[in-house]
């Protein structure tokens, strides 16, 4: 593992080419290809809604409880809508180095806030005043694009719980290398110093629920990168839609219609 | 302490004003508040005033062991303190959501964009590197803490000087500032964040929201750029839905603002450098303006001077000719009276005036007769006032024994208007 990390550090300089001359990336994908998405809904019987989603090697589990009465501090109740409470955590075995603090550190808190912000925009909270909706997401294996996989998994879980949403919330992380946008980054590409943009989109209206970008990118390239991200999100939404329809078919078969 | 909730009428007022493109302090939609950057006496201390928002940043350094996976790079550590000094809503010690958000945004803006050459901070690879610590303290919260913090952080990093280090074989000596001049950090570029507040589901947008505007906003978009038009970080927060065009427009506005602010920071650094070289006093205490109540200084006001001569001529031509009244009376040599029997121009209430006129019209006849009589009788006693109540009489030194006065009022010249003082009960 340490040798792999060595390579990653000197990413652009020698050795590891994030984008080869023929247009192939490290794992053999083309620049606009997404990783393989596999998902399952309703994995837990106890929770109101749950989903398991894999995007390449990144695996996330999302669980939704609610809408239920406000727990904890009653003072945070909103009189006209539901409060969304998100918690993001990474399993201690999710990364190559054992993670000592799965909750409570700054990055996890920031991710939780971002998830909350994303779903507050998409879930129709006006239908449930004075209640609370809990969304818990756990990363079981991390290989890049953590935020996007969390959002996709949580979308499926919220749909599984039967909570009405304005639209699917699809997210993807894109990067910019050699004047080309790369869709759906993996860990090696993310840590190779590539400028990465994470975008959460409601595909039908083209509305952006969350936009986050790190590392230097020239202003002129921003539009191209955002377009690539939106295309990738639309691709993800098609897959999620298929998963939901398939789950419904299975469920209706099981109940014997 | 919980924040005072914003009243509904205040919220409605602010939203309505924003709909009409008006802001509380009269700024335009894309205007920043007045930005002042001052440096302290130590290297690496910077104060930033953005309107009333005040922020202080301090950079310090320490030799530590490097991280295992990056043995030849220095360490940068950022910390934003939201002290209760800034706002009663901030609690001491608790890491609130806002504190986490600001900390992460500043970290991503400055660290991930690699604005500082970390490899130059390495002293002995794998053993000793410099750890640069930037502490940002909020002193007053009047909106837009993120921008003020980013300006303060990057300005203090540019201002900071670290101690010089000498390596001889295995020995490492750190020279104190007295022995060798400290050296500045190598900074590649200066990322500066610009905040945009969105209202009414993204219909209206404001740059640099003040605290009141922040309370009613729907969401915030933070774009950090440097002057080479490279975007260092974008972060949208709050539950707003953005459109791609809005983001592109904001990035264009941000590039303009960032170049202006970068110029300001460079100028402040230059001024500080020259002040230090000249040996003059520099530092925070010196840069605070002396505000004394006794000092009265008014700025020059601009006066519209176009076509002044034509207007003046017009006025002169069209002005009415005032009646020339001969109202100068010289009762005695060395004494004059002006304005007797002229209409009252003091603007006392109509009631008084009407009554007065009625009063005076009888009075006048009387007093003129009186005056006439008296003047015939005592040529040296002159009636000045025509008030019934107090009589003003001028005494001549020779005629003091001859004069008999009705009232005890002392002799003094009174204008007819002033004599209309009432001693009414």
* pLDDT greater than 50 at residue B215: yes
pLDDT value, residue B368? 47
Span of A229-238, B126-135, B392-401 with lowest mean pLDDT? B392-401
Say which residue the tokens 């490279």 belong to.
Answer: B230
pLDDT computed for residue A42 by the predictor: 92
Residue A214: the pLDDT is 84
What pLDDT, on the 0 to 100 scale, is given for residue A107?
84
Instruction: Tell me which chain B residues have a C-beta less than 8 angstroms from the C-beta of A226.
Output: 244, 247-248
Which of B69, B225, B248 faces A223 most closely, judged by CB atoms? B248
**In this model, does residue A244 exceed pLDDT 70?**
yes
- Token reading at A47: 């929770």
pLDDT of residue B314: 87
Cβ A197–B113 below 8 Å, yes or no?
Answer: no
Structure tokens at A72: 């904890």
Whether A156 contacts A62, CB under 8 Å: yes
* Residue contacts between A and B (CB atoms, under 8 Å): 96
Amino acid B367: pLDDT: 47
B326 pLDDT band, cuts 50/70/90, is low
Mean pLDDT throughout B189-212? Answer: 91
Q: What is the ipTM of this complex?
A: 0.85
For chain A, percent of residues with pLDDT exceeding 90:
56
Query: Does B244 contact A207 at a Cβ distance shorter than 8 Å?
Result: no
- DSSP letter at B187? B
Note whether B230 contacts A9, CB cutoff 8 Å.
no
Which of A96-100, A117-121, B57-61, B252-256 is least confident? A96-100
**Does the pLDDT value for residue A92 go beyond 50?**
yes
d(CA A154, CA A51): 7
CA distance A58 to chain B (A): 22
pLDDT score for B280: 64
pLDDT of B53 > 80? The answer is yes
Separation between Cα atoms, residue B212 and residue B155, nearest integer Å: 27
Residues in chain B with CB shorter than 8 Å from the CB of A5 are 69
Segment B213-231 shows an average pLDDT of: 91
Instruction: For residue A28, give every residue at least 6 positions away whose Cβ sits within 8 Å of its Cβ, in sequence order, or none.
Output: none
Cα gap B249→B244, rounded to integer Å: 9
Distance from CA of B239 to the nearest CA of A (A): 5
Is residue B152 very low, low, confident or very high in pLDDT (cuts 50, 70, 90)? very high
Task: Give B46's pLDDT tier (boundaries 50, 70, 90).
Answer: very high
**Top-confidence residue, B335 or B367:** B335
Q: B264 falls in which pLDDT band (50, 70, 90)?
A: very high
Residue of B nearest to A197 (CA): B234
Whether residue A23 contacts residue A31, with contact meaning beta carbons closer than 8 Å, is answered with yes
Out of A110, A209, A216, name the one closest to residue B100 (CB).
A110
| Secondary structure class of B356 (helix, strand, coil) | helix
* Residue range B393-415: mean pLDDT, rounded: 51
Query: Which has the minimum average pLDDT: A5-14, A112-121, A164-173, B86-95?
Result: A5-14
User: Of A138, A164, A135, A165, which Cα lies nearest the Cα of A149?
Assistant: A138
Residue-by-residue DSSP string for B262-283: HHHHHHHHHHHHHHHHTT---S
Query: How does residue B384 score in pLDDT terms, banded at 50, 70 and 90?
Result: low
Residue A8: in which H helix or E strand, if any?
helix A2-9
Q: From CA B230, how far away is CA B251, in angstroms rounded?
A: 10
Report the range out of A3-12, A204-213, B300-309 with the highest average pLDDT. Answer: A204-213
Q: Which two tokens stand for residue B96?
A: 């609130």
Of B235, B241, B255, the CB nearest to A209: B241
Q: What is the mean pLDDT of residues B203-221?
A: 91
Strands (E), B15-70: 35-39, 45-50, 53-64
Q: What is the CA radius of gyration of chain B?
A: 38
Residues of B in contact with A109 (CB under 8 A): 95, 97, 100
DSSP-assigned states of every residue in A127-166: GSTTEEEEEEEEEEE-SS-HHHHHHHHHHHHHHHHT--BS
**How sure is the predictor about B239, in pLDDT bands with cuts at 50, 70 and 90?**
confident
For residue A67, cis peptide bond before it (omega within 30 degrees of 0): yes
Residue B406 pLDDT greater than 90, yes or no: no
Query: What pLDDT is attached to residue B235?
Result: 92
Burial string for B6-21 (b: 16+ CB within 10 Å, else e) reads: eeeeeeeebeeebeee
A120 touches chain B (CB under 8 A): yes
Please, which residues have CB within 8 angstroms of residue B124's CB and are 6 or more apart in sequence?
B167, B172
**Residue numbers in B near A110 (CB within 8 A):** 100-101, 104
Helix (H) or strand (E) holding B235: strand B230-238
φ and ψ of B321, to 5 deg: -85, 125
Measured CA to CA, the distance from residue A57 to residue B145 in angstroms comes to 39
A171 touches chain B (CB under 8 A): no
Query: pLDDT, tens digit, for every residue of B68-104?
Result: 888 888 999 999 989 888 888 888 776 688 888 899 9
Residue A54: DSSP 8-state: E
> What is the structure's pLDDT at A26?
86
pLDDT grade for B325, boundaries at 50, 70 and 90 = low
| A contacts of B229 (beta carbons < 8 Å) | 218-220
pTM of the model: 0.74
Q: Chain A: give the shortest CA distance to residue B238, in Å.
A: 6
């Amino acid at each position: 593992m340490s040798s792999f990390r060595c390579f990653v550090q000197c990413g652009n300089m020698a050795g590891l080419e994030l984008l080869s001359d023929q247009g192939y990336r490290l794992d053999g994908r083309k620049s606009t290809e997404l990783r393989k998405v596999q998902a399952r809904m309703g994995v837990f019987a106890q929770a109101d809604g749950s989903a398991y989603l894999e995007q390449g090697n990144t695996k996330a589990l999302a669980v939704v409880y609610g809408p239920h009465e406000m727990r904890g501090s009653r003072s945070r109740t909103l009189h006209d809508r539901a409060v969304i409470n998100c918690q993001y955590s990474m399993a201690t075995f999710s990364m190559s180095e054992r993670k000592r603090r799965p909750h409570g550190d700054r990055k996890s808190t920031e991710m939780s806030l971002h998830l909350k912000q994303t779903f507050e925009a998409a879930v129709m909270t006006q239908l449930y005043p004075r209640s609370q909706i809990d969304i818990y997401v756990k990363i079981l294996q991390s290989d890049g694009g953590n935020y996007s996989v969390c959002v996709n998994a949580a979308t499926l879980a919220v749909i599984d719980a039967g909570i009405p949403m304005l639209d699917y919330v699809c997210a993807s992380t894109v990067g910019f290398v050699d004047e080309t946008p790369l869709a759906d980054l993996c860990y090696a590409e993310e840590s190779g110093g590539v400028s990465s943009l994470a975008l959460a989109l409601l595909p039908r209206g083209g509305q952006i629920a969350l936009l986050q970008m790190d590392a230097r990118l020239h202003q002129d390239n921003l539009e191209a990168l955002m377009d690539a991200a939106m295309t990738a999100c639309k691709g993800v939404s098609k897959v999620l839609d298929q998963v939901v329809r398939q789950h419904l078919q299975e469920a209706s078969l099981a109940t014997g219609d | 302490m919980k924040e005072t909730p914003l009243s509904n009428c205040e919220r409605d007022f602010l939203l309505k004003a924003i709909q009409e493109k008006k802001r509380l302090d009269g700024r335009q939609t894309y205007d920043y508040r007045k930005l002042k950057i001052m440096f302290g006496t130590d290297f690496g201390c910077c104060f930033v005033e953005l309107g009333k928002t005040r922020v202080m940043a301090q950079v310090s350094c320490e030799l530590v062991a490097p991280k295992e996976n990056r043995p030849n790079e220095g360490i940068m550590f950022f910390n934003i303190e939201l002290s209760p000094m800034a706002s009663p809503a901030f609690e001491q010690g608790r890491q609130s959501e806002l504190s986490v958000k600001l900390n992460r945004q500043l970290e991503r803006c400055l660290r991930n964009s690699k604005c500082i050459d970390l490899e130059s901070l390495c002293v002995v690879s794998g053993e000793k590197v410099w750890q640069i610590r930037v502490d940002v303290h909020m002193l007053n919260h009047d909106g837009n803490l993120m921008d003020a913090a980013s300006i303060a952080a990057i300005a203090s990093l540019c201002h900071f000087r670290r101690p010089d280090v000498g390596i001889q074989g295995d020995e490492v000596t750190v020279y104190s500032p007295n022995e060798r001049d400290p050296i500045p950090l190598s900074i590649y570029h200066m990322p500066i964040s610009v905040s945009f507040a969105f209202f009414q589901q993204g219909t209206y947008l404001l740059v640099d929201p003040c605290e009141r505007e922040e309370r009613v906003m729907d969401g915030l978009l933070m774009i950090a750029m440097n002057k080479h038009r490279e975007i260092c970080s974008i972060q949208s927060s709050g539950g707003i839905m953005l459109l791609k065009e809005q983001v592109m427009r904001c990035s264009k506005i941000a590039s303009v603002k960032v170049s202006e602010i970068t110029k300001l920071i460079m100028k402040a650094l230059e001024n500080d450098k020259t002040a230090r070289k000249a040996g003059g006093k520099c530092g925070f205490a010196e840069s605070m303006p002396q505000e004394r109540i006794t000092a009265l200084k008014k700025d020059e006001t601009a006066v519209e001077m176009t076509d002044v001569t034509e207007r003046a001529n017009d006025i002169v031509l069209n002005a009415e000719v005032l009646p020339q009244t001969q109202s100068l009376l010289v009762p005695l040599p060395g004494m004059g009276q002006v304005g007797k029997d002229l209409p009252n121009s003091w603007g006392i209430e109509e009631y008084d005036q009407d009554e007065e006129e009625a009063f005076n019209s009888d009075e006048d006849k009387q007093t003129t007769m009186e005056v006439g009589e008296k003047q015939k009788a005592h040529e040296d006693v002159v009636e000045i006032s025509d008030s019934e109540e107090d009589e003003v009489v001028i005494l001549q030194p020779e005629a003091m024994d001859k004069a008999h006065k009705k009232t005890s009022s002392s002799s003094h010249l009174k204008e007819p208007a002033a004599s209309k003082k009432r001693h009414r009960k």
